Amino acid sequence: MARNTRRTFLFGLLLIVLGGALLLDRLHVMEIAFSTIFWPLMMLLGLFSVVGGFSKNTRGKIFWGTVLFLYSLYFFMQSADFVELRGHIFPPATFLIFGMAFLMMFINNFRDWFFLIPAAFLGFTGLFLILADYGYVYRSEVWEAVSIYWPVVLILFGIGIIFRRRSRPPSGQVTV
């Protein structure tokens, strides 16, 4: 119970700091852009979720924490003009973000190699779409390749399911 109380306190403190900073901005006491506060806070929240997921071996926290961290990083970079991110780069970035989230779940447990399948598919699709956006390959070629070869993902998932079932010992049997 003490853990929930601590989390509630930290969340309340976070809201107070965020609200106070935004109030000072509205009263023209300090010049603070919302995006310079919000996106870094969301990155921290995602990072804490990923770290908590690794420490407790919780796939959901790792996956969604990675997604939150990377989307927040994307929007922070876009709002701060660190790099030029055009609006149409968002769909390829989404492919990359979800591919990275699956990769992080694989890194958590190397025996869960089947997470490499969606990680590779999503990551390479996003990478090639970004390369197409910058003129290194043609977008039509990328989508044509995806439309032709997407069933390979189903085949690899099927192989992963079969080998995953065989690599586990039968229930009730103890391995030494």
pLDDT in tens, 93-105: 999 999 999 999 9
Distances (CA, A) of 13 to 1, 17, 65, 146, 149: 18, 6, 21, 47, 50
pLDDT digits 0-9 by tens, 8-42:
777 788 778 878 877 887 888 877 777 777 888 88
Sign of CA dihedral 123, 129, 135, 141: positive
Which residue, chain included where needed, has tokens 């420490």? 55
Given a contact cutoff of 8 angstroms between Cβ atoms, the answer to whether 13 and 19 are in contact is no
> Taking the CB of residue 69, how many other CB atoms lie within 10 A of it?
23
Q: What is the mean pLDDT of residues 41-63?
A: 89
| Sign of torsion over alpha carbons 90, 93, 95, 97 | negative
